[in-house]
């Protein structure tokens, strides 16, 4: 089955004037709802199909969506700050808030007809998933946050978790705004995010970049609006859903201390460190991630059963 055939045709959810593109994996339709959330500027198609298929094999109905300012979802007009890393230090988002992006995910759940779902977010998507669990706890069954900073970190509080050398490399990823430029940018980002413990497959990375040809990963304006969307809600200490924190010990962008802090602050959260993994989701850990999310879901079901809650949550 090709990548295109593996997923339903694109569908649309709406949050006010924002249209959000989403689709579902063709297999596993009767499983437990699981929503995937990608990182900064990235299309939903960057989530590895093979990992999604392993999640389906673990009993999940898998859906993914493009955050606003990414992929096929609504892109907002230019804002004052067009440097993603300068946007970290703004007092508030120029275009929208982090609460808005959390609400976007709920609009996708509504469009899917899912009263609640398990969440898996990677990179910026992990921070967004944490905020969804804070803002809409009744819609979240479990939370898995990978390669992410604490969802309530802001400004200098975020900077302490980032590797400045890698940030500098990202700022140099500049290619023409063409399909060819998007491919070269995708390949460059893949190299930066690669896992030091696993061989970098240049051919496969180029094939993926060509298949997706996503301009968002080298659109500094869109990334600035996403990263500048600041959170003013409660702290992650208030998260109540069962939580798993995953992080590669070779992550070149976000320090392992970010995951340790997140896991320490969320009550009952469990941290799993993935040896040799960078700021990506390499093939060798796809099955482990799927199994760990399954175990988290099973633990959640047992807890709900003891508390007399229904499976619909």
Q: What is the pLDDT of residue 83?
A: 62
Phi-psi group of 39: left, alpha or beta (phi > 0 → left; psi -120 to 50 → alpha; rest → beta)? beta
User: What are the tokens at 272?
Assistant: 């799993």
Cα angle value 243/246/252 (rounded, 5°): 145
Give pLDDT tens digits along the chain (313 positions). Answer: 556 689 999 999 999 999 999 999 998 889 999 999 999 889 999 999 999 999 999 999 999 999 999 999 999 987 765 566 666 666 555 689 999 999 999 999 999 999 999 999 999 999 999 999 999 999 999 999 999 999 999 877 888 999 988 877 877 777 777 888 888 888 999 999 999 999 999 999 999 888 886 666 667 788 888 888 889 999 999 999 999 999 999 999 999 999 999 999 999 999 999 999 999 999 999 999 999 999 999 987 767 666 666 545 5
Question: Are the CB atoms for 105 and 128 separated by under 8 Å?
Answer: yes
Beta strands in the chain (DSSP E): 11-15, 18-24, 32-37, 60-65, 117-122, 140-146, 243-248, 270-274
What is the pTM assigned to this prediction?
A: 0.93
The Cα 75–Cα 79 span in angstroms is 11
Q: Quote the pLDDT of residue 157.
A: 82
According to the model, what pLDDT value does residue 228 have? 84
Q: Whole-angstrom Cα distance, residue 195 to residue 269?
A: 25
């Amino acid at each position: 089955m090709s990548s295109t055939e593996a997923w339903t045709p694109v569908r649309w959810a709406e949050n006010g004037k924002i249209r959000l593109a989403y689709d579902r994996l063709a297999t596993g339709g009767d499983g437990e709802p699981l929503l995937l959330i990608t990182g900064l500027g990235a299309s939903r198609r960057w989530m590895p199909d093979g990992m999604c298929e392993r999640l389906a094999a673990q009993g999940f109905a898998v859906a993914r969506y493009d955050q606003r300012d990414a992929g096929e979802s609504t892109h907002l007009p230019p804002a004052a700050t067009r440097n993603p890393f300068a946007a970290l230090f703004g007092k508030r988002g120029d275009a929208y808030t982090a609460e808005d992006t959390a609400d976007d995910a709920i609009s996708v759940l509504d469009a899917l007809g899912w009263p609640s779902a398990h969440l898996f977010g990677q990179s910026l998507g992990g921070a967004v998933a944490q905020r969804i669990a804070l803002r809409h706890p009744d819609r979240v069954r479990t939370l898995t946050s990978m390669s992410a900073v604490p969802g309530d970190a802001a400004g200098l509080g975020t900077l302490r978790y980032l590797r400045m050398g890698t940030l500098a490399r990202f700022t140099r990823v500049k290619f023409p705004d063409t399909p060819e430029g998007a491919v070269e940018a995708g390949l460059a980002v893949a190299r930066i995010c690669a896992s030091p413990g696993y061989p970098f497959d240049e051919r496969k990375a180029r094939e993926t970049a060509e298949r997706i040809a996503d301009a968002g990963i080298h659109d500094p304006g869109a990334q600035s609006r996403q990263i500048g969307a600041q959170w003013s809600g409660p702290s992650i200490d208030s998260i109540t859903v069962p939580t798993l924190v995953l992080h590669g010990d070779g992550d070149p962008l976000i320090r392992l201390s970010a995951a340790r802090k997140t896991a320490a602050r969320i009550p009952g959260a469990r941290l799993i460190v993935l040896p040799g993994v960078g700021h990506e989701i390499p093939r060798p850990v796809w099955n482990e991630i799927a199994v760990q999310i399954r175990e988290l879901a099973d633990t959640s079901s047992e807890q709900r059963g003891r508390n007399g809650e229904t499976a619909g949550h």
